[in-house]
Structure 1
Amino acid sequence: MQRILLPLILVIMIGISTNYAFSQEMGLATFQETAQIIIDKSISQNVTASITLQSTSLQEIQIPAELEKKIRENKQVTAIIVTNEERCVLGVVNESCIMINVVVDDDDRGIFGLQDNAKKVSESYIDEINQVFDTDAKFHSVFIHNDDISNKALETSGIISGRGTISAVYTMPKEDTSSMYEKISAILIPKTIRDSEGFYEIAKELSNDKNAKMTFSLIPFETKSLFQLKLAADFPGKASTISEINPLEIFNVNSIKRSDYFSGGFYPLNSIIQVVILSDDDINVSNVNGKIIPTQIIDEEKIPIDITDNGWIFDPDAGKRIQGKYIFGKESSIDKNELVFSLAGEKIKTEKPETDESVIVVGIITIVAIAAAIFYLKGYRK
């Protein structure tokens, strides 16, 4: 968990659109868009496609500043989640949820103490949350999550749904994903970003899928909060039949375009495509249609040498868990055929470049950006 948290905290400290003085004049904005595919051949056998828009800026995800500060300054609150996920917790059926996650109070004793504390903490926020999201959620129950199998497989921290997480659950009438996404995005995301198309438009189309679900998360940290609006669709039982990966075909689009919100500068790491494959057997990446970016190992991470180039970074590229991240470089859009690769055949070969000081600089910045971009995005699970 620390490996993920430390880079994120560094991002938060860096602030909005910080520029770095090195050859590529790269900028790193607080707003990020991520398209993700999870192909789970190990646990669920599902394929999950998702788009996540995230920021640490209240200007880009418009939560009232007073409420954000109130949540962040209460060290017992670890997350606020608004979702129409099916059965957000056990006992909730055909309803949408607002979950207020809290940490265990050392003074509590037993299950009833935990429940009373969680309900007491949540009651001081639910009215304001209902007002922000134009909802009328009512208290349902306090739920203690006891399963973290997906968090372990996907190497997530578990703040959202890990073992021991305590959620005060509030429920409201079920809303279809398309209308809920349109309403919540209109509330949270300023018009300038919505009109800039990019991944937001793909999420809007994905919201019409019968299996699509929407989740908004607020995760407080020391000085800022991380806001995420995620639209995901599950395709049950599809993972076992996949040997060729075509990410955009899963999204049912022919190309993917970066948001015009980034057109005012060079922000190559603020739009990322990510593919994660889980398997019980060893697998490897092969037959990559597009480019594989030359990388250098920095702090145990594969880091691109030339950030202006577009292409894949596979880390790892073989084993029971494969992860690929595609960066756009100077490109503003990518055709679906450029993203295709296989899981069978000869392993990809990469050259080992010489160490360069400029690589170290780019490496540090890239670790920070990619870590932030995939934070909590590796696999949100109920």
Structure 2
Amino acid sequence: MYRVFAIIAIAIASFGISQADSQELQFATFQEMGQVLIDQQISNNVTASITLQSTSNQEMKIPSDVEQKIRENPQIISVILTNEERCILGVFDQACILINVSQHPDWKGINAIQDGTRMIGDSLIDDINRVFDTNAEFHSVYIHHSDEANKLLDTSGVVSGRGTVSAVYVMPLEDTMSMYEKISSILIPKVIRDSGGFYENAKKMSSDPNASMTFSIIPRDNASLFQLKLSIDYPNAADKVSTIKPLEFLHADELRRSSYFSGGFYPLNSLLQVVVLSPESTSIEKVRGSLMDTHLIDEEKIPTDVTQTGWIFDPDSGEKIEGKFLFGKESVVKSEDLEFTLTGFGGEFTEKPIIENVDVEENYESMIIVAIIAIVAIGAALYYLKGYRKSA
């Protein structure tokens, strides 16, 4: 994971939206991603999401002093604003701000952990409330005990897991449509909102009764990663999927890139990602659209021609299948061109009603998994960029 962010820092320092007058391969600080997680291992849920993210506070308008204050505290892992149902143990029908920190070696015992975590949270909450026009108040300190999500996705625990503690602040619950509209208007400049793309898909998805939104600030040495995510959960749906139709879960017939990238060639700034976690080994069986030509660099599949449109599956077999769809020179893709099947999968997708007694730790893990794969996706895009330039 740290290697991924090192690549991000190097690439983002070199390539920006200001270079849009050139038609050579470029990478901008702003990214749009569609994601579908089909999880048969932990929750048996399908989670579909649209994530908009950037490392620039010109594209996600977090005040520089607040971002710096978060980034300069080495214990802060992330700051998360969410209306996810039951975001943490003991919270019901309220929205949350979670200030996630790593345990300090000097914190001996539960009281020291709680006091130290709250002190860090209290030092930030007024700034966070000011930025988002909220009035969140302290609720509790929550100590995370599970590493399952991190182990499953081969991450280092930098987002969640054992050793992470959350200072939890709560506020009145707001419906997802109005909350997404409010937060996106605060964060995202009008030029990006007016450029359509995945943002339009997210706005439409926000009216779904099972939709939720999350905004995350993930600090790193030289820049923070800002993520605005709109997601829909389909409980107990994963084992009902046979033919994988990603846009069906995103309530869309097509996926169109943002015109924000129209001034240059930014093929890696719009991605669709599908992750399948299976209890048994499986493999790609049929792909309705195109597979991209790839070659291996450092045991990673790298596209040989990013002007092509199609899928890269890596890995393409085993208990975890991960596919990324690249638009190439195209600006839109139709639903039927994204379908694929895996060996040994079950029946057709059927949406089931939400089960009320959801395990809270499992619910939080599912939320964090989606955040983790978004981080991995930006790392993959930049690795493609690095590998493509290296092989050119």
Same fold (TM over 0.5): yes
Output the CA distance in 2 between the equivalents of 1:123 and 1:145.
Answer: 19
Within 5 Å, give how 1:1-382 maps onto structure 2.
1-14=1-14, 16-17=16-17, 25-344=24-343, 370=381
Output the CA distance in 2 between the equivalents of 1:93 and 1:156.
Answer: 29
Per-residue CA deviations over 1:105-143 (Å, capped at 9, x if unaligned) read 222211111111111111111111101101000001111
Indicate conservation of the 8 Å contact 2:142/2:166, yes or no: yes
State the match for 1:377 in structure 2. none
With normalisation by structure 2, the TM-score equals 0.85
Per-residue CA deviations over 1:343-379 (Å, capped at 9, x if unaligned) read 138xxxxxxxxxxxxxxxxxxxx99552589xxxxxx
Per-residue CA deviations over 1:55-86 (Å, capped at 9, x if unaligned) read 00011000011111111112221211100111
- Structure 1 residue matching 2:33: 3-state secondary structure: strand
Q: Taking structure 1 as reference, are residues 203 and 337 closer, same or farther at Cα in structure 2, changes over 3 Å only? A: same
Q: Taking structure 1 as reference, are residues 372 and 182 closer, same or farther at Cα in structure 2, changes over 3 Å only? A: farther
Q: Alpha-carbon deviation of 1:148?
A: 2.1
Per-residue CA deviations over 1:214-251 (Å, capped at 9, x if unaligned) read 11000111111100001111101111111111111121
- Structure 2 residue matching 1:70: 3-state secondary structure: helix
State the match for 2:389 in structure 1. none
Output the CA distance in 2 between the equivalents of 1:367 and 1:66.
Answer: 25
RMSD: 2.0
Output the CA distance in 2 between the equivalents of 1:2 and 1:172.
Answer: 34
Per-residue CA deviations over 1:191-231 (Å, capped at 9, x if unaligned) read 11011110001111111111111110001111111000011
With normalisation by structure 1, the TM-score equals 0.88
Output the CA distance in 1 between the equivalents of 2:329 and 2:272.
Answer: 15
- Structure 2 residue matching 1:124: 3-state secondary structure: helix
Output the CA distance in 1 between the equivalents of 2:149 and 2:106.
Answer: 30
Output the CA distance in 1 between the equivalents of 2:104 and 2:43.
Answer: 34
The code of the aligned residue for 1:246 comes to: K
Q: Alpha-carbon deviation of 1:157?
A: 3.9
Per-residue CA deviations over 1:5-52 (Å, capped at 9, x if unaligned) read 3323333443534869x9x71010000000000011222111110000
The code of the aligned residue for 2:309 comes to: N
Output the CA distance in 2 between the equivalents of 1:152 and 1:8.
Answer: 22
The code of the aligned residue for 1:204 comes to: K
Q: Alpha-carbon deviation of 1:3?
A: 4.0
Number of residue pairs the alignment of both structures matches: 351
The code of the aligned residue for 1:240 comes to: D
Q: Alpha-carbon deviation of 1:306?
A: 0.4
- Structure 1 residue matching 2:285: 3-state secondary structure: coil
Q: Taking structure 1 as reference, are residues 40 and 223 closer, same or farther at Cα in structure 2, changes over 3 Å only? A: same
Can you give the 5+ residue segments of structure 2 that lack an aligned partner in the other structure? Answer: 345-376, 385-392
